[in-house]
Amino acid sequence: MTAATTGRDETLTWKLGGRSPDEIAINTTVDQRITRDWAWAGATGESVRVCVVDSGVQGDNPLVGPIQGSYALAGEDPGSEPTVVETEAEDAYGHGTACASIIRRIAPQCKLYSMRVLGKVGGGTGAALLAGLRWAVEQRFDVINLSLSTTRPQFDRELRALADQAYFQNTIMVASAHNTPVESFPWRYSSVISVGSHSQNDSDFVLANTRPPVEFFARGSAVPVAGLDGKPTRNTGNSFATPHITGRCALILGKHPGLTPFQLKTILYLTSDNVRGGA
């Protein structure tokens, strides 16, 4: 089904692409006492616990810095539930390290943790995503970065329940939209902060989406990230837009501990670059 048959313009749902930010300008009459200075000026993310649920994070990478804890799935037999074990801080193929380096650059003093659900034993399936995310939610991290999703509908119900659990315990789940217009989870849930990419060459530039389910756009084109050789490289996609929002959440929580996901999402909205009339 196309946009012509639905009568809707779907181009803003997954990514902004080459569209101008002026096309999604938002005018608000809300009293804008919530400014960027108030929200995170001077913050470093200190003491905020951030978990990257991904392919692992390389612990000795100079562009990532120290990893507080590294975990992975193990012992997955056919028909059995994957289990979580502590492991060396390593990355199956670099995706998680790239995401972690963006978070570290934005919130340099946050406490980074890794939960590997992609690659190696037990990784790369909807069941692995569910098991790893369940563990991360149970640890009550302040923020969970999820630059991946599953298209398998059989995991929808349990993932939604986990996202709700995180929401009500004040764990911020930041989830990447799929790079293509397909149905996937958990980014479509209202209990998470969902992220797509824009093409602006500015890592501080964040846009609120006028046509959810994606709620925010962040830099996702030629983003500087850490390679596994410890040298910078550039990656493109919604996966790399998402940790920009995760890092900003860490800054805000570092300065204003105890905010609920609703409050944090509101601050992100009011400080977005296309929300006019205030910050």
Strand partners, 216: 195, 208
Is residue 91 within 8 Å of 58, Cβ to Cβ?
yes
**Quick one: tokens of 9?**
């313009």
pTM for the full predicted model: 0.89
Q: What is the mean pLDDT of residues 109-131?
A: 86
| Residue recorded with tokens 């779907």 | 10
Q: Is the dihedral of CA 228, 229, 231, 236 positive or negative?
A: negative
Task: Say which residue, 156 or 9, is predicted with more confidence.
Answer: 156
Pairing verdict, β 232-235 and 223-226 = antiparallel
- Domain boundaries along the sequence of the chain: 9-276
Q: What size, in residues, is the chain?
A: 279
User: Which pLDDT belongs to residue 279?
Assistant: 45
CA atoms within 13 A on the CB side of 26: 20
Which is nearest to 211 in space by CA: 1, 17, 15?
Answer: 15
User: Which pLDDT belongs to residue 33?
Assistant: 78
Band of residue 28 on the pLDDT scale cut at 50, 70, 90: low
Task: Please state, rounded to an integer, the average pLDDT across all residues of the chain.
Answer: 90
Assess whether pLDDT exceeds 60 at residue 278: no
pLDDT digits (tens, 9 = 90+) for 29-74: 555 678 999 999 999 999 999 999 999 999 999 999 999 999 998 8
**Quick one: tokens of 17?**
């692409």
User: Which pLDDT belongs to residue 5?
Assistant: 38
Which is nearest to 236 in space by CA: 51, 57, 95, 52?
Answer: 95
Is residue 134 within 8 Å of 148, Cβ to Cβ?
no
Band of residue 171 on the pLDDT scale cut at 50, 70, 90: very high
User: Which pLDDT belongs to residue 25?
Assistant: 83
User: Which pLDDT belongs to residue 26?
Assistant: 78
Band of residue 12 on the pLDDT scale cut at 50, 70, 90: low
Assess whether pLDDT exceeds 90 at residue 208: yes
Which is nearest to 191 in space by CA: 210, 213, 206, 209?
Answer: 213
Q: What is the mean pLDDT of residues 117-131?
A: 80
User: Which pLDDT belongs to residue 197?
Assistant: 97
Exposure letters 57-69 (e unless 16+ CB within 10 A, then b): bbbebebbbebeb
The CATH number of domain 9-276, selected from 3.40.50.200, 3.30.360.10, 2.30.40.10, 3.30.465.10:
3.40.50.200
User: Which pLDDT belongs to residue 1?
Assistant: 36
Band of residue 163 on the pLDDT scale cut at 50, 70, 90: very high
Band of residue 144 on the pLDDT scale cut at 50, 70, 90: very high
Band of residue 76 on the pLDDT scale cut at 50, 70, 90: low
The Cα–Cα gap between 224 and 209 comes to 24
User: Which pLDDT belongs to residue 123?
Assistant: 58
The Cα–Cα gap between 236 and 139 comes to 30
